[in-house]
Amino acid sequence: MNVNWKDENHAEITTDTGSFSVTVRPKENKFVGGRAVKSRLYVSGAITNVSPDIPFNTQVKNVKNVFLPVLREFLHLDNLDMKFSRRAGCSCGCSPGFILNDPTIPFDVWMGAR
């Protein structure tokens, strides 16, 4: 994996499986009700551009299979996992994404395949 940081929040990642753009931003709310808020991964275009020919759950699984290994290596977290949520970023469902299982990650991540 080759990581080329453009600035403190933006990087380009090149792997054997492709190229990815990454943006990291500090979490706005680190605790809600005394509990740590888990970080989110938002994948540009991949979930919102749903093909009617492929079942939605299959598309989510395919996106996870592409982005999770890259994110694990990028964050150096071998046990990282994520769960899809239609309401990851907003309670109305306008911002679907993945909720990461590690609450110690201090930022949210936006990724896109190039």
**What are the tens digits of pLDDT across the range 56-100?**
788 788 888 888 999 999 989 999 999 989 888 888 888 888 999
Number of structural domains the chain divides into: 1
Read off the tokens for 25.
Answer: 């931003």
Question: What letter would DSSP give residue 103?
Answer: T
The whole domain housing 106 covers 2-113
pLDDT at 29: 72
pLDDT of residue 113 exceeding 90, the answer is no
pTM metric for this prediction: 0.81
pLDDT at 10: 93
DSSP H or E segment with residue 73 = helix 56-75
